Structure 1
Amino acid sequence: MSAKTVIVTGSSSGIGRDIARAFAARGDNVVLNGRDAGKLAAVAAELGAPERVAQVVGDIGSTATGSELVQTAVERFGRVDVLVNNAGIFGAKAFVDVTEAELDSYLDGNLKGTYRTTQAVVRQLLSQGDGGSVVNIGTVLINHALASLPASAALVSKGGVHALTTSLAAELAVHGIRVNAVAPGIIRTPLFGDGDETGSGRLALLNRIGEVSETTSAVLYLADAEFITGHILPVDGGYISGRAA
């Protein structure tokens, strides 16, 4: 297989970092993205193969960042094949206490950022004329919320990402561009921090929390699966299907 060029937003830590690692490990060209230049440079150094790794520092909430990601990919590697929309923010706060500024930050960072970055990439894919793949990162909490985790602002924005996935899958199929999403459950990332691993694990049938490598496997699968589009794949250990006890 020839190397693909993959853009991974939010790849300076957690899920995005591992996704970038996996694409680079199999020989693909990877364009990293994050807001912290130091962290991004450290990830690039870890990946090795500097001839196959590029970096774009910037917030995907800015339209300019999406354009720069595409420009960098084309200048360094000649094309774009895959976009992984991983960058985003998440937090819990009671519905009545969410400020307008906080709501805007979720909508800008999660939904609008994903929308604009995808626009920039899809324009490039259309100009190339040979299809491509977009994989969005959502959350299973859209389908099965937790009373103990009030996160309406974050979930409204991520719900929009799920809707964007199915809508674009229908619109872009005629061009051979596939659009899918991975919906993680509770995953061991810096965001999870010192959370109750045992208690959280009991929320899923497999009775544990997930690892970033398991989310990565799902992303790689959807990026390559030529006959799948419009699919939102839960990676949740059975969280939305049942409980361990």
Structure 2
Amino acid sequence: MTTFEGKKLVVIGGASGMGLQAAEDVVAKGGSAVIVGRSGQKLDDAVAGLSRSGPAWSIAADLADWDQVLEAQKQLAQDHPDATLLVNAAGFFTPKSFLDHEVADYDAYHDLNRATFFLTQAVVRGMVAGGQGGAIVNVGSMWAHQALAVTPSSAYSMAKAGLHALTHNLAIELAGDGIRVNAVAPAVTRRPCSRRSFPQTSWTARWTS
């Protein structure tokens, strides 16, 4: 069985879904976790649940608020420079036709990618300085590679394709520092945004994160 003894994981968007599951797996196997997410009961409950198995901390930040992202960067650098694992799991999915998109819709995805980019930078600085290498997993999407008529999602797909492109670039740039960078591209998972997007689709319940 894989052990994470002595390893610290940072999860961006880890208060629920796949991000929280990753944190639970690491903490249950001897590691610790830092959850970065929007302030509120969901974040508090996630960290409280993790703390029953091992060390866990939270950094409250609305990833759409640049000032809060900058503060989260500072907290990661000051309090968790020893993290050698990172999962970028923040995301949302709102199907909308191309002609119905407004600037605010596009900007919401853009802001999330910007936050992911610079929070990843903060964690990677610690990995490089620590000299122990590390591993990054970016949670992308099947929609980055395949369009579906039932879920028009041009802005979402564009954003997730950018995350996959970032993965390719970082895998090359950071290999010399012993940092592995990979992405996963899940389809529908059992999480709140899937239930909102597919409220009448029974097959979504068969997909799990």
Range of TM-score over shorter length: 0.7 to 0.9
Corresponding position of 1:211: 208
The aligned runs of 1:192-211 (5 Å cut-off) are 192-193=194-195, 194-198=199-203, 209-211=206-208
Corresponding position of 1:168: 170
Q: CA RMSD in A?
A: 1.8
Q: Please, what TM-score do these two structures have when normalized by structure 2? A: 0.88
Q: Which amino acid aligns with 2:79?
A: T
Contact 2:12–2:116 under 8 Å retained in 1 = no
Do the aligned partners of residues 87 and 155 (structure 1) sit closer, same or farther apart at CA in structure 2, a change above 3 Å counting?
A: same
Question: Paired residues, what number?
Answer: 199
The aligned runs of 1:152-167 (5 Å cut-off) are 152-167=154-169
CA distance in 2, matches of 1:195, 1:155: 22
| Cα deviation 1:50-78 (Å, max 9, x = unaligned) | 8611111102343412332343324xxxx
| Cα deviation 1:38-97 (Å, max 9, x = unaligned) | 2111111212348611111102343412332343324xxxx1110100012221111111
Contact 2:12–2:37 under 8 Å retained in 1 = yes
Offset of 1:195 from its aligned partner? 4.1
CA distance in 1, matches of 2:200, 2:33: 31
* Partner residue of 1:35 out of 25, 35, 38: 38
* Partner residue of 1:71 out of 43, 61, 78: 78
Contact 2:39–2:62 under 8 Å retained in 1 = no
**Which runs of no fewer than 5 residues in structure 1 stay unpaired?**
201-207, 213-245
Corresponding position of 2:21: 18
Q: Does 1:5 align with 2:8?
A: yes
The aligned runs of 1:141-160 (5 Å cut-off) are 141-160=143-162
SS at match of 2:21: helix
Q: Which amino acid aligns with 1:59?
A: D
Offset of 1:184 from its aligned partner? 0.8
Do the aligned partners of residues 187 and 51 (structure 1) sit closer, same or farther apart at CA in structure 2, a change above 3 Å counting?
A: closer
State the identity as a percent: 37
Q: Which moved more, 1:62-71 or 1:93-102?
A: 62-71
CA distance in 1, matches of 2:89, 2:74: 17
SS at match of 1:87: coil
Contact 1:85–1:135 under 8 Å retained in 2 = yes
Contact 1:31–1:55 under 8 Å retained in 2 = yes
Q: Does 1:180 align with 2:177?
A: no
Offset of 1:172 from its aligned partner? 0.9
Contact 2:92–2:193 under 8 Å retained in 1 = no
Q: Does 1:47 align with 2:50?
A: yes
Q: Please, what TM-score do these two structures have when normalized by structure 1? A: 0.76
Contact 2:143–2:160 under 8 Å retained in 1 = no
CA distance in 1, matches of 2:109, 2:91: 8
**Which runs of no fewer than 5 residues in structure 2 stay unpaired?**
none
